[in-house]
């Protein structure tokens, strides 16, 4: 067979192309596969809220040491 050889620069340029960033127009909507499942959306919102609440808390030492 024929081997197609691509260099690193070409592959990195392909990653940033507009065609690589948009899904195909005729792709069916399958929850959990082509779109986020409803449960995944709920989990993402919970994680965002948890991260926001952790950021609001002042920095604390991870471990308390008794000397």
Task: List, for residues 35-57, the tens digit of each pLDDT value.
Answer: 766 666 677 788 888 877 766 66
Distances (CA, A) of 49 to 36, 38, 52, 53, 59: 18, 17, 5, 6, 18
Q: Is 62 helix (H, G, I), strand (E, B) or coil?
A: coil
Over range 56-62, report the average pLDDT.
Answer: 62
Ranking 3-7, 10-14, 51-55, 58-62 by mean pLDDT, the lowest is 58-62
Residue 35: strand pairing partners? 31
């Amino acid at each position: 067979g024929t081997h197609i050889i691509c260099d690193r620069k070409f592959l990195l340029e392909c990653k940033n192309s507009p065609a690589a960033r948009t899904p195909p127009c005729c792709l069916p909507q399958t929850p959990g596969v082509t779109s986020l499942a409803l449960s995944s959306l709920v989990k993402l919102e919970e994680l965002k809220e948890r991260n926001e609440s952790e950021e609001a808390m002042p920095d604390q030492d991870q471990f308390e040491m008794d000397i």
